[in-house]
Structure 1
Amino acid sequence: MYRYTGIVRDAPTVLSYAVLGSFTFWLYAFGPAVTLLRDELGFSYTLLGFHSVLWSLGSAAAGAGFALAARHLPRTVLLWGSAAINTVAAAMFTLGRGVPVTLSAAVLFGVGGAALVAVTQAILSDRHGSRRDQALTEANIGAGASAVFAPLILGALAAGALGWRVAFALPAVCLLALYLRFRGVALPPAAQRHDSGEAGRLPLACWLFAVLTAMSAAIEFCLLYFGPQMLLTTGLSATAASTALSANYLGILIGRTLGAAVTRRPGRSIPLLYASLALTGGAFLLFWLADHPVPAIVGLFLCGAGVANLYPLAVGLTLDAAPGQGDTANARSQVVLGLATAASPYLLGTLADRYGLSAAFVLEPVMIALSAGLLWTGLRTRRPNPVEPAR
């Protein structure tokens, strides 16, 4: 293990980083893979979108049950059990035949993915305490790298002799290697409550920050699902528009790398959140109003850089607002996030069918403004946390 500027990157920390990065490969490969699957099976656009909805609903279901599971199961079981669920989902999605199997796989991905994200976030939060913001931001650098490389690897394999399905085996191989290397590592237990409040009852600030976490994901998901369609209006071909989406992924990776550097010093997370919201809003306007490809792609890149740190920092605030209730806060946050990521793209698509895509994208600045309001209100309603023991 090694130490610098604030946190110790020990075995549980490195394991959490690697597991989250492995899962995120599946998350960002899933959308392009469903498109390839549609070409093979010939199902409708409605069924294509329904895969994403079921994934999100599976996430919400896992969030609803995670707190109960965390009270009865050790974190090693939760971590490796959720990894196994995702591996089974990947096998069903790639080896199964027929839409019912792939839809079932989407549900399992949602369940296993939300549980895995929740337990890794809880491990990092309890391990690093008041420095959880830096740990969570660093963990999402690996996720950002997966976002960049997953579609590229999927596309390269799809064009070759092996086929795109091989890409879904890569995270499973990584998780198996991690299990063999880290299976004996002791993970930090859930923190105990410091206050005398009612068990399971989360503070208002925690709920506000949980909704902020969901809004940050919804902002990103809407842009990822419908951004390429907006690029078509600038004169790009469908292939070029899909490729240009990698600019957003690159922005996310760079933004999270810079965010990890910024949060190495305490007290910088809140200014970074406000700056990220401002950058996201300004960059989205550039993307939204552009009528030529170059400014639109620049706007897409800057949107990625802006939205990059919203999710990990909002998660940190959510957990920080509920000391001793990390598992419950994680679970409730995953429920809200699952519902938001299921509803927001569907709402944007519905608005686009009725009023046009450009008009429907007004949903994005609305969510950005709502996020700023949630952050401002949450900061003013949270209770001061007790001083944490030195680590």
Structure 2
Amino acid sequence: MSFRRDRLTWVAYALLAWFAFLQAAPGLVVPYLRDELDIGYTTGGLHVAAFAAGSTLAGLSAPRLEAALGRRALLWGSVAVMMLGVAGLVAGPVVAVTIGSLLVAGYGGGLLLATDQALLADHHGEQRAIALTEANVCASAAYVLLVGAIALLDWRAALLASFLAPVALFAAARAVPITTAPAARADHGRLGAAFAVAATMMFCTVAAEWCLTAWGASFAEEAADVSADTAVALMFGYFGGVLAGRVTGSALARRHPPPRLLAAALVVAALGFAVLWPATNPAQVFAGLFVIGVGLGNLFPFALAVTVALAPDRAALASGRAVLAGSTAVLLAPLTIGALADATSITGALLVVPVMLALAALALYWVTLRL
């Protein structure tokens, strides 16, 4: 059976890309905020953690909110909340405001992510792995667009300009039917031990990814001894690798099962870290970021496909729990890296990455034996 992309699919893809554009923004904005607000690595990490904390709360509440409000209302309501939080970040004059605004943005973003993923999983059924992988290709393209937008515009202007996307999508999707999963299956129930291990695997993969997403620019700034602008520009390597990896992964997802592809992505990510970690010049930093991006970029979509497939008849609940696991990782990983960087160095702190990759590989092996 061929995979069909209808208007609902494209709207879901575009909304996920917009979410990804803003989700990655705190990590790239932190070097500027550190200069503007005179803050250290730990306080900088609180900005990324605030977004993740909001997403964690969203993961807990998304299934019940969907049951109460309906999927359409929750989808567009979450967009509005995310826009409100980002506007606060742009206008915020002090740390308390910028961190609080990212908490709001993260809550809206987490609701949007959980709802969007559940929508795609329900809409495409057994072909959900293809849909989720393609959606994350769109997300990785948005990462590259973010770096380019910040390079060409002031970072504040880049974030505000992105608001045009959901406004246009809302106007284009008013006639598109968006159905809600039955409440009895959507908002409660146990998902089993295998799902719990898969969620732990997802935590580790997202933690590894966000160590680089949040601190890659700061690592480049210190390792290669370059300016904040140059460090952000070097992140083209990372996000370009994420995009290349997801495009390749999307094609491979049609012929190979997600567990096998996830295992390959973990290996590529480990090889990329081996290139990146000892880097001392911009060229090697760029090369290392690209290779590790190829691997890390595929961890989330394939881990998500493996995890949600363990509860195929309860996509909303499984997606909400997956978002909870991932957002908890985004909450803890940047804070851990920031604290370790203040105590040692950003280079030493990034040794958390191979540890997370190894733990994810062990969890994948356990889950695969039980599939």
TM-score (norm 1): 0.87
Task: Give the length in aligned residue pairs.
Answer: 369
Is the 8 Å Cα contact of residues 205 and 379 (structure 1) preserved in structure 2?
no
Q: 2:153 aligns with which of 129, 154, 157?
A: 157
Residue 89 of structure 1: how far off its partner (Å): 1.3
Which residue does the alignment assign to 1:167? 158
Which residue does the alignment assign to 1:66? 62
Which residue does the alignment assign to 1:295? 284
Residue 291 of structure 1: how far off its partner (Å): 4.3
Distance 1:148 1:202 in 2: 36
Residue 302 of structure 1: how far off its partner (Å): 0.5
Which residue does the alignment assign to 1:386? none
Q: 1:319 aligns with which of 304, 308, 317?
A: 308
Q: Does 1:213 align with 2:202?
A: yes
Q: 2:274 aligns with which of 261, 266, 285?
A: 285
Q: Does 1:19 align with 2:15?
A: yes
Q: 1:187 aligns with which of 165, 168, 178?
A: 178
Which residue does the alignment assign to 2:250? 260
Change (3 A) 1:345 1:49: closer
Q: Does 1:249 align with 2:245?
A: no
Distance 1:319 1:325 in 2: 8
Distance 2:297 2:22 in 1: 18
Distance 2:332 2:207 in 1: 9
- Which piece of structure 1 moves more, 338-347 or 94-103? 94-103
- SS of the equivalent of 2:162 reads helix
Please list, as runs of the form range in 1=range in 2, the aligned pairs for 1:1-391 lying within 5 A after superposition: 6-42=2-38, 45-158=41-154, 164-190=155-181, 199-232=188-221, 234-239=223-228, 240-265=230-255, 267-382=256-371
Distance 2:245 2:368 in 1: 23
Residue 350 of structure 1: how far off its partner (Å): 2.7
Distance 1:183 1:25 in 2: 23
Residue 64 of structure 1: how far off its partner (Å): 1.0
- Which piece of structure 1 moves more, 218-227 or 125-134? 218-227
Is the 8 Å Cα contact of residues 193 and 324 (structure 1) preserved in structure 2?
no
Deviation digits for residues 265-305 of structure 1, max 9, x if unmatched?
Answer: 3x432221111111111111121234454333212101000
Distance 1:19 1:286 in 2: 34
Residue 10 of structure 1: how far off its partner (Å): 0.9
Identity %: 33
Question: For structure 1, which runs of at least 5 residues remain unmatched after alignment?
Answer: 159-163, 383-391
Deviation digits for residues 101-122 of structure 1, max 9, x if unmatched?
Answer: 3222111111000110001100
Deviation digits for residues 331-352 of structure 1, max 9, x if unmatched?
Answer: 2222222221111222233333
- SS of the equivalent of 1:201 reads coil
Distance 1:81 1:281 in 2: 39
Distance 1:229 1:95 in 2: 23
Larger radius of gyration: 1
Tell me the amino acid that sits aligned with residue 224 of structure 1. T
Is the 8 Å Cα contact of residues 45 and 338 (structure 2) preserved in structure 1?
no
Change (3 A) 1:370 1:261: same
Deviation digits for residues 51-105 of structure 1, max 9, x if unmatched?
Answer: 2111111111111111211222211011001011111112222234443332221
Change (3 A) 1:280 1:193: farther
Which residue does the alignment assign to 1:387? none
Residue 246 of structure 1: how far off its partner (Å): 1.4
Distance 1:77 1:233 in 2: 45
Distance 1:180 1:346 in 2: 38
Task: Kindly report the root-mean-square deviation, in angstroms, between the aligned alpha carbons of the 2 structures.
Answer: 2.3
Q: Which has the higher helix share?
A: 2
Change (3 A) 1:368 1:110: same
